[in-house]
Structure 1
Amino acid sequence: MTAPVRRPHRAALPALAAAIAFACSAAHAGGGPRYHFERIDVPGAAHVVVKDINDAGQVVGTYFDQDFVKHAVLWDAKGSHRLAVPDGLEVHGVAYAINNHGQIAGYADSFEDSSPGLTWNAATPDTYMKLSDDPIVVAIPNDINDDGVIVGLKGGYQTGEKFHAFVWTAQGGLVDYGTANPDDASQNAIWSGINASGQLVGGWNYTRQIYHATRGTLGTPAVVPFNNDTEVIESFADAINASGVAVGYADLGAPRGPVAARFETDGTIAEIPGASFDSDAGFASAINDAGVIVGRATNLSTRTGLKAWVYVDGQAWDLFEQVDDTGGLALFTDAVAINASGVIVGTGEFEDGTMASFRLTPIASDAIFADGFEAP
């Protein structure tokens, strides 16, 4: 099963949250760059793929070495740090999420074996802890909140078990939250996000079929349909902020593919205006506590029209056109995470198809404007 990954949403200080709404100030109304571009790299890496950023600016993800082995990695002010994995699982390592305490959640496997999910601490990247000691359990984390609660999907390749949504806590270990219909053994389910209040979001599907958005609550082992409509339409809730607002994608009946969508606390779902640009589909990856959203647009059938975007103050912006430099990248393919300071991380490609990653920091003026940046 191929699962969407997702991604982040972090608790923010009120002052910072208020500041994010202006991402780049009206001082740039003349058309100047709104974000400062930086490459996120690993020396000698073939491809670099970021997954998350916390409020301290620590970033996690994965990179391919020259032998195309994938390694889980942390970036901080001192550079890149490869994260340790269990012996024998060095073929495929990914760090998917990091919280504001530097706790990291991820996964590793080999051609013969898989991990039961892993957690690291940014202060000690050479040590890890398994989420389970059961050799049959496969657990792939997608998010971790500031209480260290990890969520994702679990299953058993050896047993043929379908994937179920799981929650892991240091006190209770790995808890199976099941699927949207516990009586249907052919369903899969996944949690993709958790906020500080323990609100959960994700989706369910049948293998190789469309997803349907779900939600839940920490402490109640159940997967609940987001609303009646999501049981019918293609939809997925990818991330959730402290206010309980989620983002992802949904087929809302437009004459194209799924659109980037915002899932409100009252159960309503609405398209994020402009987030598909000229492509036939849009996807929202993350939302911070000020409501700034990031994601990607693409033409699903041709994989053209790829754009990483940010949505702020009622408008979606193509990030490739809002930076002071592109680092030689031919395009930005996705914006995957945003922190409380409005710093965005994402992925792009060079002309030869090599994957690279970037960090975009808002360019602020001395004055603070609350109404977002203005159209040039």
Structure 2
Amino acid sequence: MSVLESRIISTPRLDTHLWLAGAPAKPAILLLHGNVSSAAFFDRVQAALGERYFVIAPDLRGYGRSEAKPVDATRGVRDFSDDLAALLASPELGLATDAKVHVVAWSAGGNVAMQLAIDHGARVASLTLINPGSPYGFGGTKGLDGTPCYDDFAGSGAGGVNPTLVELLAAKDTSADQPVSPRNVMNTFYWKPPFKPDPETEERYLAGMLEIAIGEGNYPGDALPSANWPNVAPGVAGMNNALSPKYLNQSEIVQLRDKPPILWVRGADDQIVSDRSMFDFGVLGELGAVPGWPGAEVFPAQPMVAQTRAVFDRYAAAGGAYTEVVVADAGHGPHIEKYDEFMAALTRFLAK
């Protein structure tokens, strides 16, 4: 296992904290974490890959120890992908100016990775997407083509985040006293119970969750009132609005001239990104957890996995290639829950 080196690299866009493993002369891998997490969640994967690759694991804007500049959600996740493009071009990092990187990305990091391929494709050799968000964003859409449930995209964005979780994240709460404490959210939804990391790793991952910038400019962002159920619509700033389908539509990846090969890895029992996500208003309304649900014709559960597969099928039909690997008995974090199985799939893919 390689030793991880902590660095901060400054670009005109951002002061980015990152972990490095391996030597710059080796082929490069970029690891991208998801929402309410940090690069710490890739520590074991990075240490193993560092034996053969130059592995770069940054904390995204507003996460971990990176600078917390506000996120312009009206650009979708382009603030993040542009930050990464600037990082890859930094002389401090030591990559050749024409070097391509293999991108391995988890959850919302998968959306950032797809945007990097769309806007900065010359830097992307391949995409490994672990339980990525739908190319049509999170919440407020229906059908395989991402049709919005309402014109104002109500039911997506920052208004969908539990305010108690936000308060506890801001308070750096490490308890297990409330159902939505950061620790309980991680152990209930990031993996499939009863899986839990060993105690030392659990504390390290929890610390990574709590290194998050809270506010309207970062997590979760601002929310607007709506006349449409569930009466909240996306604002214009912060991560969760950046993931709203009002601003995010990555189906254009199908039109890329140079299409990087895609490995899509997902836990079979994911509760966060699924066709029946427990964080989706369509599911919560159907279950009666959010009163006033207008019914499945108006606001069904967003078919996140099916939407992703539909876009990837079009990607393949247009000359690209993707492989779907479903990891049994795993939730949202198969690279942690089923480390050996994940690494075997990733190694096979990279070897091609």
Give yes or no for TM over 0.5.
Answer: no
More helix by percentage: 2
More strand by percentage: 1
In which range does the TM-score fall when normalised by the shorter chain? under 0.3
